[in-house]
A = this chain, B = another copy of it.
Amino acid sequence: MLKIAVLGAGRIGKIHAANIAASPLATLVAIADPYFDNALQLAKLYGTNAVKDPLELINDREIDAVVIATPTDTHVDLMLAAARNGKAVLCEKPVDMDLDRARRASEELATLQVPVMVAFNRRFDPSAQQIRQAIVRGEVGEVHQVMITSRDPGFAPVDYLRHSGGIFRDMVIHDFDMARWLLGEEPVSVYASGSRLLNPALAEFNDVDTCMVQMVTASGKQCHINCSRQAVYGHDQRLEVYGSAGMLLNDNMRASSVRRFTHQLTEAREPLVNFFLERYADAYRHEMDAFIQAATGAQPVPVTAWDGVMALKLAECAQRSVESGKPVSVD
């Protein structure tokens, strides 16, 4: 049984704690959170220990692995400390707001012989997995175009957005990772357009709420991403992969498969699964399974710190493209 500690008892920490507790291959041995009450409450739910200081757990020889679900600006230090102590690490995205810092951390982590995984949970969504596996099996031949739709059902609070690093680093970063994974090749140029069509308050910190990205790889594969902070009809998350031998796409998920027909409606379906905790519940569970496999050496690390750096780099290119109005070369 892999002994895992969760650092950070917030929204995401809770999900990871539950998935560790439910796994037959791992034990949840401790929770750390400077807001000690939060740590205590979560620990109690699973009959485990609570501490205030994450470093206490990172230094605990009994612990095999840590999940880092703390604020972004602590990720790099905690990752490095844990990895230097020989612990397997699952770290929430983004690795850091600063690309150089993330890159340097990634380079050091690569020298340590420790499994370090970055939590791009969407890769573990069953539909995304099916699409990726179909690509790998060659079902659509050579991939030519990838289209990603990524719309949140509603705005996060402005205070959150102010410190989020902007729509590309905070939200589209998931789609940059997805794009790299599905394209199977690195984008070499990024062109992005961003508008404030929903919320003028974002002007204060120069953020946008509606954006499109177009990327090209060295061999000429193309990728489009569209993104909105607020889709009134729900959390809209779709993928489309077009290749020389066919197309793959997925639909949004719904709570049930019921369709309604009345005088006013034809075939109205259940609302979309509301938001990411619900939409990606399976993905979070499979992600934890994958981390446990990687931490025990049974499988390679499926998403590395380098993947985290690359997604961040694309986000930064997109940000610079919006600012300059021009496509930005990726290095």
Contact = CB atoms under 8 A, between A and B. Distances in A.
B151 A232 contact: no
Chain A: interface residue count, which band? 35 or more
A248 B139 CA distance: 25
B222 A193 contact: yes
A258 B134 contact: yes
A158 interface: no
A263 B272 CA distance: 11
A191 B214 contact: yes
Given A197-B220, A258-B248, A214 B211 contact: no
A195 B129 CA distance: 27
Interface stretch (A3-11, A30-38, A167-175, A249-257): A249-257
A268 to B, nearest CB: 4
Interface string A255-291: 1111111110111111110000000000000000000
Number of copies: 4
A127 interface: yes
A55 interface: no
Interface string A38-75: 00000001000000000000000000000000000000
Nearest to A141: B232
Contacts of A139: 260, 262
Contact of A262 (B129, B245, B250): B245
Contacts of A221: 195, 197
B266 A272 contact: yes
Given A139-B262, A256-B127, A266-B254, A246 B222 contact: no
A144 B197 contact: yes
Interface string A74-96: 00000000000000000000000
11 contacts: A134-B258, A139-B260, A198-B244, A211-B222, A212-B214, A232-B244, A236-B247, A245-B263, A248-B261, A250-B259, A254-B266
